[in-house]
Structure 1
Amino acid sequence: MTRTANDPANRFATLTFARDIAAPVSVLWQAWTAPAARKVWAAPTPAVTVEFLEADTRVGGREVSLCKVEGQPDIRCEVGWLDLQPMLRSVNYEVVSCEDVTQSVALVTAEVSGTDQRSRLVVTVQLSSLAENMETGYRQGFGAGLDNLANAAERTMVLERVIKAPRRLVWGAWMNPETLPQWWGPDGYSCRTTRIDLRAGGEWVFDMIGPDGTVYPNHHRYGEVHAEERLAYTLHWGENGPKHADAWALFEDQGGATKVTLGMVFNTADEFQAAKGFGAVELGLQTLGKLERFVTSR
């Protein structure tokens, strides 16, 4: 006898996915939750394009995306964040629909563990299917997405600093076209701006000049900009040059201080290793140190 999705035996399933990842647990957490990072790994295959309509990763926030495949109707996915315990656990609901018809609902629990060297992600999906083949689709799509996540996390760099200044001042120093070039870059570096427009859809074309006079052309293209909360941008090798990383900055209030998290998913593992090799972590932390000195000296 053929069973359909309306049969109770087929409607419910509990799926478990686990991945061991060669990245620190703090990096895995950012790759799992930061909207800019999620956009990097969300598409399960190259044939699928994921368009994000909303992205707000905080308790009570939601993420809405459209999965697009040529010649097929769009699949809408709504994620609502119910619990977020940094570097430990997240819980969200997920509703999948097509042409305004709900296909499935699910409760997704992610458990994160690990060290500053390696991490582990275990995701449990409690799935209720309202259409046929949703369990199979989840096994394939979710599994492929988590493979992409693991790959992205292993080429992600995350820098953090708590700055002893209010969030509005830190954000203001970052998103002001007059002040950003004054502090951006490691110790001993300066910036020479060609043009700057710090808005969603804007850009910053500039040269970073090293202590020995070496010129490093840069081009930042800005995507999302949410005042005093987060911004996302892409890094390019010079004006209109090839992209080498997707980046984001998060700004969190900590009792009058501001926690700044700067993340970057490099295009390839080779670019990530090259960046680590020339000291990108140390140089990036110097940049955040310059930001703190700038805002606390004013």
Structure 2
Amino acid sequence: MTLTQKPSSTAVAPIGDSGGRFATLTFERNVAVPVSVLWQAWTAPAARAVWAAPTPAVKVEFVEADTSIGGREVSLCKVEGQSDIRCECGWLELQPALRSVNYEVISSDGATQSAALITADLADMGEQSRLVVTVQLSSLAGDMEGGYRQGFGAGLDNLANVAERTMVLQKVIQAPRAAVWNAWMNPQTLPLWWGPEGFSCRTKRIDLRQGGEWVFDMIGPDGTVFPNHHRYGEVRPQERIGYTLLWGENGPKHADAWASFEDQDGFTKVTLGMVFSTAAEFQDAKGFGAVELGLQTLGKLDRFVTAK
């Protein structure tokens, strides 16, 4: 996945002469979310997959996504009737909730179109966050400054929209990362602790591999049944999982979600994120206590792992 918004299809077509062009571009946005949420929306592959395409006519396929210093991301921008645009990004600096730096190389039909160094600075503004993105651009196939301005502008608008319907929960689990991962990605143990206090899981089928799914009912303390369907699109052992939440088996999509696992002084910091499909669903989830219930779920994971 690209770290930044890829240019639209016009951005990679030669504009003017074929000589190299250089430009420094700056983009600024105020986003109505805490800076910790904005950071997740900016860096988490599952979130960026939601806002990556500049327009509905562009489809983005993520080939590789390693969100770590030295890691790279590769994606393909697909527009009907045109050659695919390949974007390769590499993470050079990651300071959570403060700054990211990456390079970006755009190519098409095997020819490099542009190279850029991209710096994103985030600032906490209380109820809002500020994002300033600086692009140091070298256009190798004509002057691409206009396309970059258009692409980044659309991308940051999409990002703001996604961030404002993103929910992020975090908890430090008092156990090593391997133990936490094994409790989460074991089909025998996941149903034992998943869900808020007083809830239980009844599994129909479960396959926690990439491309697998978990179809199950969550049963509330009063016996109410909540059908669930998780589809797993990404599994990076002991690092990250990405999955889609559906309203019941093969039902409409409810959210794009991810869980990441980080070492923290021998314990494990778990981040659980969800981009809800609509702003209304996000508000409904907040209204019925999704934050509190989600933290209860992570609390049950903590007790399950530490009791072993």
TM tier, smaller = over 0.9
CA apart distance, 1:142? 1.3
Aligned equivalent of 1:40 = 50
Q: Check conservation: 1:173, 1:180, Cα contact below 8 A.
A: yes
CA apart distance, 1:115? 4.3
SS of 1:30's partner is helix
Aligned equivalent of 1:17 = 27
Aligned equivalent of 1:123 = 133
Residues 143-190 of structure 1 deviation map (CA, whole Å, 9 limit, x = unaligned): 111111110000000000001100000000000000000000000000
CA apart distance, 1:250? 0.2
Aligned match for 1:210, one of 197, 208, 220: 220
- Structure 1: which 5+ residue stretches go unaligned? none
SS of 1:57's partner is coil
Counterparts of 2:233 and 2:25 in 1: how far apart (Å)?
34
Q: Check conservation: 2:175, 2:266, Cα contact below 8 A.
A: yes
Distance change >3 Å, CA 172–CA 116, structure 1 → 2: farther
Residues 74-105 of structure 1 deviation map (CA, whole Å, 9 limit, x = unaligned): 00000000000000000000000001100000
Residues 253-295 of structure 1 deviation map (CA, whole Å, 9 limit, x = unaligned): 1121000000000000000000000000000000000000000
Indicate yes or no: 2:98 matched with 1:88. yes
Aligned match for 1:49, one of 59, 68, 89: 59
CA apart distance, 1:111? 0.2
Residues 112-157 of structure 1 deviation map (CA, whole Å, 9 limit, x = unaligned): 0114521111100000001124111111111111111110000000
Distance change >3 Å, CA 115–CA 209, structure 1 → 2: farther
Aligned match for 1:166, one of 166, 176, 179: 176
Distance change >3 Å, CA 3–CA 42, structure 1 → 2: closer
Aligned equivalent of 1:249 = 259
Could you tell me the TM-score, scaled by structure 1's length?
A: 0.97
| Residue pairs, 1:251-266, within 5 angstroms | 251-266=261-276
Counterparts of 1:133 and 1:283 in 2: how far apart (Å)?
51
Counterparts of 1:80 and 1:296 in 2: how far apart (Å)?
37
Alignment length, in residue pairs? 294
Indicate yes or no: 2:80 matched with 1:70. yes
Counterparts of 2:178 and 2:89 in 1: how far apart (Å)?
29
Aligned equivalent of 1:222 = 232
Q: Check conservation: 1:104, 1:127, Cα contact below 8 A.
A: yes
Q: Check conservation: 1:48, 1:68, Cα contact below 8 A.
A: yes
Task: Spell out structure 1 runs of 4+ moving beyond 3 A.
Answer: none
Could you tell me the TM-score, scaled by structure 2's length?
A: 0.94
Indicate yes or no: 2:197 matched with 1:187. yes
Aligned equivalent of 1:4 = 17
SS of 1:152's partner is helix
Counterparts of 1:235 and 1:190 in 2: how far apart (Å)?
18
Residues 231-265 of structure 1 deviation map (CA, whole Å, 9 limit, x = unaligned): 00000000000001000000001121000000000
Counterparts of 2:293 and 2:69 in 1: how far apart (Å)?
33
Counterparts of 2:225 and 2:18 in 1: how far apart (Å)?
61
Aligned match for 1:237, one of 247, 269, 283: 247
Q: Check conservation: 1:231, 1:249, Cα contact below 8 A.
A: yes
Counterparts of 1:285 and 1:244 in 2: how far apart (Å)?
19
Residues 33-59 of structure 1 deviation map (CA, whole Å, 9 limit, x = unaligned): 011111110000000000011001110
Q: Percent identity?
A: 78
Q: Check conservation: 2:261, 2:271, Cα contact below 8 A.
A: yes
Q: Check conservation: 1:26, 1:116, Cα contact below 8 A.
A: no
Counterparts of 2:166 and 2:94 in 1: how far apart (Å)?
21
Counterparts of 1:57 and 1:116 in 2: how far apart (Å)?
27
Aligned equivalent of 2:10 = none
SS of 1:58's partner is coil
